[in-house]
Structure formats: structure tokens, C-alpha cells
């Protein structure tokens, strides 16, 4: 069981619940630890829980029988995903993979639906999240078609600091150049070149195994 303080740090929506609702969430939620590269959820499996990233970094992707894989998004600690599959009571349409050692929380579908029936603030939180996620995918479709690799990396990184989807005041993210490449769908070498350009533009600072964002708005606008 996750402690209350840990849930408040890892789930912005938890703070919106009343005492009874918080107690049920604490009672029902479970956590699992995954090593880097592990499959967390598979495309085609029935969704039985809402997923939260307690620590680490995950990749949401789709693939075909030829082995081609397309990354849809990265989700850092503090992000929650999979509500669409629960709301529609359907199988997941994507794979969820750990890019580094990651701890995942699972809120069972029964508890998720119980909160929907009882908490207006929880419903409002989900509405904002779904709306923000739609905007994220529209922006990704635009960047994939119109932007050069350097700008795609900038947009990809900006997404990881979205304050509504991943509410954190920390502008430093543990992420390697290889992981940036996975998320932006480019090689590690090309990701390294893009990061060097973004660092020269004073938008971020590259650290060992991490990035420090200096200008989030600049990252969002880069290459537009």
C-alpha cells in the first residue's frame, strides 16, 4: 500500500478526494517494480487498472507484425494513463514499456469507476487530462509531419514537462540521450546532435544521464 504522502506526491488527483475516497484508494492501489526494457502492459490485453508512474520513465508505443515501432509518448513520474481504455471498457491499443527502472501504480477499474460515480473534482481532473492529451497528440502529429529532427526533440522534451499531465515543479528530468532518441524516434547520435543545438540555444542544460530545462516556452516554440 502506498503511503498518503507518497500518493500526494505522485498523483495530483489524490489531493482532490475526500477522506473516505482517499482511504479506499490507499487500500485498493498496488505497485509493481519493473527493470529497464520490461513490458508493463501489452497491446490487445484487457485494461483492468489505471496506471500511474511513481518513479522512472515509460514509453507508450505501437508496433506491427514487421517489427516497426512508433512511440506515441513518454510518461515521467507523476503521470497517469490508460483512462480511455477504462472508460470504454476495452483492450489497450498500445504497449507500455519501461525505459528505465520504473515503479508503476495500478488503481483497479472498480475503484476508478467508484471515484467517477462519487467525486466531481475527480471527474473534472479527468476531463482536463483527456483534453490536454488530445492537444498533445494533435501537436505530435503536426511535429512529425512538419518539423525537423531538432525541433521534434524539443517538442518531445517539452511534452515531458507538461504541468497538467505531469504536475511537477522540478525542471530536471533523469533521461539519457538514448531514451530521448527512443521517444523522438531518431538515433542516439541524432538525439545527441539535437540536444547540443538546444543547449547552445540556452533552452536546456545537458547533464550526465539527465536534462535541466532552462526555457520551457522556448522548447515549445523551437523550430516553429
User: Residue 152 belongs to a domain with what CATH number?
Assistant: 1.10.10.10
Same domain, 30 and 126: yes
Give pLDDT, residue 109. 97
DSSP assigned state of 47: P
Phi/psi-derived region of residue 151, left when phi > 0, alpha when psi is between -120 and 50, beta in every other case: alpha
pLDDT for position 142: 65
Q: Domain for residue 100, yes or no?
A: yes
Distance from C-alpha of 159 to C-alpha of 128, rounded to nearest angstrom: 16
- Ranges in the chain, pLDDT < 70: 1-5, 64-68, 140-146, 168-169
Q: Which three cell numbers stand for residue 222?
A: 523551437
pLDDT digits (tens, 9 = 90+) for 113-161: 999 999 999 999 999 999 988 887 777 666 666 578 898 899 889 989 8
User: Could you give the CA distance from residue 54 to residue 92 in angstroms, rounded to a whole number?
Assistant: 20
- 82 shares a domain with 161: no
| Residues 19, 104 share a domain | yes
- Residues 164 and 64 reside in one and the same domain: no
Give the pLDDT score at 7: 80
- Please report the pLDDT score of residue 4 as a whole number: 65
Nearest to 2, CA basis, from 108, 126, 10, 78: 10
b/e burial code for range 83-115 (CB count within 10 A of at least 16 → b): bebbeeeeebebbbbbbbebbbbbbbbebbebb
Is there a single domain that holds both residue 42 and residue 104? yes
Domain count, the chain: 2
Whether residue 31 lies inside any domain: the answer is: yes
Please state, in angstroms and rounded to a whole number, the distance separating the CA atoms of residues 23 and 7.
Answer: 11
- The CATH number for 120's domain is 2.60.120.10
Q: Is 84 a domain residue?
A: yes
Residues 111 and 17 in one domain: yes
Structural domain contains residue 39: yes
For residue 112, what are the domain limits? 4-131
Same domain (yes/no): 113, 18: yes
Amino acid at each position: 500500500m502506498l503511503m498518503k504522502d507518497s500518493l500526494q506526491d505522485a498523483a495530483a488527483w489524490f489531493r482532490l478526494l475526500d477522506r473516505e475516497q482517499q482511504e479506499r484508494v490507499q487500500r485498493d492501489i498496488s505497485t509493481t517494480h519493473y527493470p529497464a526494457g520490461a513490458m508493463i502492459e501489452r497491446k490487445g490485453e484487457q485494461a483492468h487498472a489505471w496506471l500511474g508512474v511513481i518513479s522512472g520513465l515509460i514509453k507508450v508505443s505501437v508496433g506491427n507484425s514487421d517489427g516497426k515501432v512508433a512511440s506515441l509518448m513518454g510518461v515521467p513520474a507523476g503521470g497517469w494513463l490508460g483512462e480511455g481504455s477504462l472508460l470504454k471498457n476495452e483492450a489497450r491499443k498500445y504497449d507500455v514499456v519501461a525505459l528505465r527502472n520504473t515503479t508503476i501504480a495500478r488503481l483497479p477499474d472498480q475503484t476508478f469507476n467508484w471515484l467517477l460515480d462519487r467525486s466531481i473534482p475527480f471527474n473534472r481532473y479527468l476531463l482536463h487530462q483527456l483534453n490536454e492529451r488530445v492537444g498533445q497528440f494533435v501537436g505530435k502529429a503536426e511535429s512529425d509531419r512538419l518539423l525537423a529532427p531538432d525541433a521534434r526533440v524539443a517538442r518531445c522534451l517539452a511534452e515531458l514537462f507538461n504541468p497538467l499531465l505531469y504536475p511537477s515543479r522540478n525542471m530536471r528530468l533523469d533521461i539519457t540521450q538514448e531514451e530521448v532518441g527512443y521517444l523522438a524516434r531518431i538515433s542516439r547520435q541524432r538525439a545527441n546532435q539535437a540536444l547540443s543545438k538546444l543547449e547552445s540555444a540556452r533552452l536546456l542544460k545537458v547533464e550526465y544521464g539527465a536534462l535541466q530545462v532552462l526555457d520551457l516556452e522556448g522548447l515549445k516554440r523551437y523550430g516553429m
